[in-house]
A = this chain, B = another copy of it.
Amino acid sequence: MASDSLTSREKILDAAEALFARRGYAGVGLREVAESVGLVKSSLFHHFRSKAQLYCEVIARVLDRIRLGLAPVLDSDVGPVERLDRGVEALIDALAEHPPTARLLLRSLVEEDDFDSAPEALRVEEALGEILDGMGRLLREGVEAGVFREVSVPHMVQTLIGATVYHFASGDLGERLLGRPVLCAEEVRRRKRELQDLLHSGLVVNFPPRVRSEA
């Protein structure tokens, strides 16, 4: 056991993560997954009951990584603005840590096969719920404290997901726009700053603040 410092199960999960990220659930055959870790297809079924379960475990592992990176930041008791900045940084770090992460996540958000039947889907649901709740809570507190504008919290959560997950999942298109890979260290740093600046001040300089009719 542990012939290569990783158990077969973990090697399978790693390979499946990379492949699912590149070609999606339907686009990857179990044979390809197995052979990319030096096994044969039928051997996979000693570790996972089905392709759907393997997929769910891959997704759950990714979401857990993000949750673990995000939770301490969102639970810290600094002000909303600083928590937002650090949250953006933690989220981007989690996405940039392993190249397949963002792409896999974006695909899973758009995949609509019914994996809900699998019991492993509960882990996915749980981690996703905690991440979304945490982001929503931060935004709501900031709005209630008057530190953030009175934005729609759900819409802002969507914007944050789009600005992070989509960006690092954009692959060739992103590289074509930026002129270099979206995951190279400098562009990751730049992404954090650009997104934080946008959240701080928007795009338009000195835009007249919207007249508000309430206290």
Interface residues of A, Cβ cutoff 8 Å to B: 22-27, 81, 84, 103, 106-107, 109-113, 132, 136, 142, 146-149, 151-152, 154-159, 161-167, 169-174, 177-179, 190-191, 194-195, 197-205, 207, 209-210
B contact residues around A147 at 8 Å (CB): 204-205
**Min distance, Cβ A2 to any Cβ of chain B, angstroms:** 33
B contact residues around A171 at 8 Å (CB): 109-110, 112
Knowing A147-B205, A198-B202, A202-B198 are in contact, say whether A167-B163 is a contact too (CB < 8 A). Answer: no
**Cα-based distance from A64 to B114 in the complex (angstroms):** 32
Q: Does more than half of chain A's interface fall in helix, strand or loop, or is it mixed?
A: helix
B contact residues around A201 at 8 Å (CB): 149, 201-202, 204, 207, 209-210
Knowing A158-B174, A202-B202, A205-B146 are in contact, say whether A151-B26 is a contact too (CB < 8 A). Answer: no
Q: List 12 A-B contacts (CB under 8 A).
A: A22-B112, A84-B204, A106-B110, A106-B166, A112-B172, A151-B194, A154-B179, A155-B167, A155-B194, A156-B198, A158-B167, A166-B166
Instruction: Identify the interface centre among A24, A27, A171, A195: most chain B CB within 10 Å of its CB.
Output: A24
Q: Is B205 within 8 A of A148, CB to CB?
A: yes
Knowing A132-B177, A163-B162, A177-B132 are in contact, say whether A190-B110 is a contact too (CB < 8 A). Answer: no
